[in-house]
Amino acid sequence: MTKRLPLILTLIAALTTGTLAGTLLNHPHPSFWAQLRYGASASDGEYLFDSLADIVPGAPDSGAFKAAAALVQGTVVDIEPGIAYASDDGESGSRVVAYDSQDAAMRYASLVVRVDKILAGRLGQGYTDGRIRIQVEQPATTTLAELQQSIGTAGTGLMFVHNLAERQQLLGRPVTDPAQLTYAQSVHTPIGEGLFIEESAGSPVLAPLMDGPRAAQLLGYTYVSDDGESEPTPTPACDDLDPCYTPTSKPSATATSVPAGDTEPAGTTPPSLTALRSTLLAAACTEQTATDPSSC
């Protein structure tokens, strides 16, 4: 038995090494967006609009939802610490803590985006040196250092944004706390979860802030679930067992898929950034907010 002990130990070590080697060989390090889009907070709720045309600058309000101030094409060049909140039982506000504080329960990083072109609307405060900072939740399952290391995979995209301080003012909820005001003036918030990213040239767009079915609904393709099974885009399914309801007086969008523009039969692949850009520019032309009217 004693003679076999080294063999048994070697076998255990080999199994461990083999498993780790297998893991590393089969799973390259996740991309920037794979790290950022998953593992964040999760919620339940009602969608308030049902078409990308509703986000375009100049679009009329859709219930409580208000359109973006600007649509930009930009390239993600860096990610920085933004703001962090602690947990408490507060009602309207939550305590701001240092970004690296152990008390931080919710962290928002700032994507540093080089603005390649303002396609529609206008950028206000926080647009300096040709760059804006966009507020995104940092999942607890990744670190800023890991995100920075993978910034080369962040790619380029179309982004619906609004300066946070100006947005809050527009909504009648101005930021008054001096520390939070400074932050709010420096960042843009994504509007309508509308970040559409092309990780590499010609690849289908990602919508990292939306969950899969929602992205499919807005971009006009058939969602394939994480289980690998094709699911129809959400449609109202109301019966005695599962009746439709509206939880508040806030208007809700219909769940019908209304892709902006494309009337081709839905496939399972999102559009390219080029195709999406054309669609969104057409919508901006309709709203007369395109920055280059000659392209309309």
Q: Please choose, from the candidates 129, 96, 131, 130, the residue with its C-alpha nearest in 3D space to the C-alpha of residue 112.
A: 131
- For residue 51, the minimal CB distance to other proteins (Å) is 11
Cα separation, 1 vs 127, whole angstroms: 72
Cα separation, 99 vs 34, whole angstroms: 22
- E strand or H helix at 74: strand 70-86
- For residue 204, the minimal CB distance to other proteins (Å) is 17
Cα separation, 17 vs 239, whole angstroms: 54
Q: Please choose, from the candidates 206, 194, 127, the residue with its C-alpha nearest in 3D space to the C-alpha of residue 161.
A: 194
By beta-carbon proximity to other proteins, the closer residue of 89 and 129 is: 89
- For residue 253, the minimal CB distance to other proteins (Å) is 8
By beta-carbon proximity to other proteins, the closer residue of 88 and 116 is: 88
Residue given tokens 């930021």 in the structure block:
175
By beta-carbon proximity to other proteins, the closer residue of 8 and 296 is: 8
Residues 49 and 283: beta-carbon distance below 8 Å: no
Cα separation, 177 vs 170, whole angstroms: 17
Residue given tokens 């303002």 in the structure block:
118
CB atoms within 10 A of CB 89: 5
Residue 78, φ and ψ in degrees, nearest 5: -165, 170
By beta-carbon proximity to other proteins, the closer residue of 116 and 177 is: 177
Cα separation, 126 vs 144, whole angstroms: 21
- For residue 296, the minimal CB distance to other proteins (Å) is 25
By beta-carbon proximity to other proteins, the closer residue of 85 and 127 is: 85
By beta-carbon proximity to other proteins, the closer residue of 14 and 296 is: 14
Cα separation, 167 vs 184, whole angstroms: 9
- For residue 63, the minimal CB distance to other proteins (Å) is 8
- For residue 126, the minimal CB distance to other proteins (Å) is 15
By beta-carbon proximity to other proteins, the closer residue of 106 and 151 is: 106
Residue given tokens 């393709």 in the structure block:
221
Residues 112 and 131: beta-carbon distance below 8 Å: yes
By beta-carbon proximity to other proteins, the closer residue of 57 and 190 is: 190
- For residue 292, the minimal CB distance to other proteins (Å) is 26
- For residue 40, the minimal CB distance to other proteins (Å) is 8
Bridge partners, 131 (sequence order): 114, 128
